Structure 1
Amino acid sequence: MIAPILEQLEAEYGERLTIAKLNGDDHPEIARRYGILGFPTLNLYRDGEVVHQIVGAKPKRLLKAELDDRV
């Protein structure tokens, strides 16, 4: 549902942001490791550590606002 938005954001942010997707249903152990209870959940990492988490589908403008403060 948000995949097209994520592709747009990755193109807009260029080298400042890399987006990787993981199907939590196929890899529940990873979802548990990061405390993910609902989908979609977006984790923002810096130096291998989660620095911000966005839970739930949001429109592009809201995702962009959260990323602009952190990327």
Structure 2
Amino acid sequence: MAMQFTDSNFEKEVLEYKGTVLVDFFAVWCGPCKMMSPIIDELSTKYEGKVKIGKLNVDEEPSTAAKYGIMSIPTIMIFKDGKVVDKVVGALPKQELENRLSKWM
């Protein structure tokens, strides 16, 4: 199961983390976000110990979403050692997401 990122834990869990982190910016009312949710959970299990994968609810955690200019959801960002290295707006197939993620592992 993907972890929950919040405004209060984002710096420690994502920005200070040495390694790769995938963050799914979502909202519970968003249809494409609901399509991506099981894919994100599946990848978090598959890559456990290799990549940190989690979700951030933009309605509940607005300051982190605003800091990264999240205007459309889902937005998936990949961080490497605290820096944004990839960003995808909108839903995408699991294989494409895995291909993007594998470049940063």
Q: TM-score, normalised by structure 2?
A: 0.61
Tell me the secondary structure at the aligned position of residue 6 of structure 1.
helix
Tell me the secondary structure at the aligned position of residue 63 of structure 2.
helix
Structure number with the bigger relative contact order (C-alpha 8 A, sep ≥ 6) is: 2
- 1:23 is aligned to 57
State how far apart, in whole Å, the 1-side matches of 2:56 and 2:75 are.
10
RMSD across aligned C-alpha pairs, in angstroms? 1.3
Structure 2 segments unaligned to the other structure (5+ residues)? 1-33
Specify which structure has the higher proportion of helix: 1
* Matched length: 71
State how far apart, in whole Å, the 2-side matches of 1:62 and 1:47 are.
22
Tell me the secondary structure at the aligned position of residue 63 of structure 1.
helix
Q: TM-score, normalised by structure 1?
A: 0.85
Runs of 4+ aligned structure 1 residues displaced above 3 Å come to none
- 1:51 is aligned to 85
Specify which structure has the higher proportion of strand: 2
Identity, % of aligned positions: 38
